[in-house]
Amino acid sequence: MMMNALIAAGGAALAFLLTVAPPAAAQTPTVPLAPAPRSPLDGRPETAGAMRLTPLFGPPLPTPPDKLPVDQLKLPKGFRIEVFASGIANARTLRVGDKGTVFVGSRHSDKVYGIVNRGGRNEVKVIASGLYRPNGLAFKDGTLYIAELSQISKIEHVEDNLDHPPKPTVIYDQLPRDEANGWKFIAIGPDNKLYVPVGMPCNNCIPPETHGQIRRINLDGSGAEVVALGVRNTGGFDWHPVTKELYFTDNGRDWLSEDLPQDELNRVTRSGQHFGAPYCYQGDVLDSDFGWGHSCSEFVPPIAKLGPHAAPLGMRFYTGNMFPSDYRNAILVVRHGSWNRTIKIGGDVMVMRLNKDGTVKSAEPLITGFIADNIFLGRPVDIQPLKDGSVLISDDWNGAVYRVSWSNAPEARRR
């Protein structure tokens, strides 16, 4: 039932964001594109239906504020969504500083941005530039950590120098340079260590020992160790507020079928567990290429299936006090949306409520409407709670950040 609810909530979608929009006619090429090694088309079946599924492109520039799709997004009664900031090219990972600065990473821009409130208005500033895929961000004790494709750097006392921030200082450069699944999401755990994934360098393959994992390092870049294995490509993780266990989203392989495998929500209960890729996906589907000689019982199954090719990315536990009480300690999961599926799903934010033992009790949509008539109106990426209990949602398709709040007042709008 949970799976049916997730697919129904997903609706429709568009694609895997790059940077420049081609003309409409180019979105369904008449001559099939030969896949480059390790490209998103690697392994695509040579059938008419599959050939129509190619990565599409978002708008070449951030969408103007008055054109953003907030009026088309749907939320439960009492919730409201509004534009928090716009004009942020390829807005991805979100983090909040001690003094309220909202930092925004990017997968395709070379910049990290900061959103600051001045005179009652949110102003977007460039915090760092000249970077390569600075998608991942973390913040701790005044220091901003930035994960690029192959290294992690830091800017100390960043909020004290927003007008003239110093250049980032590299603390860890032992990350592979593979482009496939190479962009990083990072976070600092309750153990005060920095966690960083290294995705599989392919759609589906036996990865080197250095890939398909989540690592953790000390905040100075030392002491690297592997925490989880069999991780194809995680774009978001967080720790349970009570048990401190690590939960993470993971994107399944492409081109097995339109309905398989489903993407995953996983839980790490001890260091070194293996979550299946590339031998077993979604906990119960042996891979057609590498599953021979294996059983899915060898690996840790997901605690929830999140839909086929729905591309779950950012996730956070909600610990605020603004939303209704049943949201407390629930997981908010952002599904970026499918591109290699004829009927698109995802493009939404889900609420995953947990049982006392940490397993998933229920799943329902918080925000839908980013997909209409099988076309993306936006692509949500990450979610970040604010101190007042509201949450921010990034949208890399439109280059915007939205704020979601809740009020039980009669005038609270329902979208």
Task: For residue range 45-71, list pLDDT tens digits in order.
Answer: 999 999 999 887 889 999 999 999 999
pLDDT at position 2 over 60? no
Backbone angles phi, psi at 115, to 5 degrees: -110, 120
- Where b means 16+ CB within 10 Å and e means fewer, 218-240 reads ebebeeeebbbbbbbbbbbbbbb
Mean pLDDT of 250-259: 97
> Predicted confidence band at 75 (pLDDT cuts at 50, 70, 90)?
very high
State residue 409's pLDDT score.
57
pLDDT at position 393 over 50? yes
Least confident of 5-19, 263-277, 352-366: 5-19
State residue 13's pLDDT score.
34
> Predicted confidence band at 42 (pLDDT cuts at 50, 70, 90)?
confident
Mean pLDDT of 301-317: 98
Which contiguous run of DSSP H or E holds residue 122?
strand 121-128
pLDDT at position 121 over 80? yes
> Predicted confidence band at 23 (pLDDT cuts at 50, 70, 90)?
very low
pLDDT at position 11 over 50? no
Beta partners for 285? 281
> Predicted confidence band at 413 (pLDDT cuts at 50, 70, 90)?
very low
Residue ranges of alpha helices (H) inside 11-130 are: 48-51
State residue 382's pLDDT score.
98
pLDDT at position 91 over 50? yes
Least confident of 56-60, 147-151, 182-186, 395-399: 56-60
Mean pLDDT of 386-404: 98
Closest to 102 (Cα-Cα) out of 119, 123, 82: 123
Residue for token pair 């909530």:
9
pLDDT at position 227 over 50? yes
The one-character DSSP state at 33 is: P
State residue 238's pLDDT score.
99
Per-chain mean pLDDT for the chain: 91
Task: State the DSSP string of 233-262.
Answer: ----EEE-TTT--EEEEEPPPSSS-SS-SE
Separation of alpha carbons 81 and 268, rounded Å: 33
pTM greater than 0.75: yes
Mean pLDDT of 166-190: 97
Long-range contacts: 355-362, Cβ < 8 Å, 24+? 358/240, 358/243, 358/245, 358/267, 358/303, 359/303, 360/2, 360/265, 360/303, 360/304, 362/2
More confident residue, 12 or 336: 336
pLDDT at position 414 over 70? no
pLDDT at position 9 over 80? no
pLDDT at position 230 over 80? yes
State residue 162's pLDDT score.
97
State residue 408's pLDDT score.
82
Mean pLDDT of 90-115: 98
> Predicted confidence band at 37 (pLDDT cuts at 50, 70, 90)?
low
pLDDT over 70 percentage in the chain: 89
State residue 58's pLDDT score.
87
The token duo for 92 is 């991805």
Separation of alpha carbons 243 and 62, rounded Å: 40
pLDDT at position 122 over 90? yes
Mean pLDDT of 256-266: 97
Mean pLDDT of 387-408: 97
> Predicted confidence band at 28 (pLDDT cuts at 50, 70, 90)?
very low
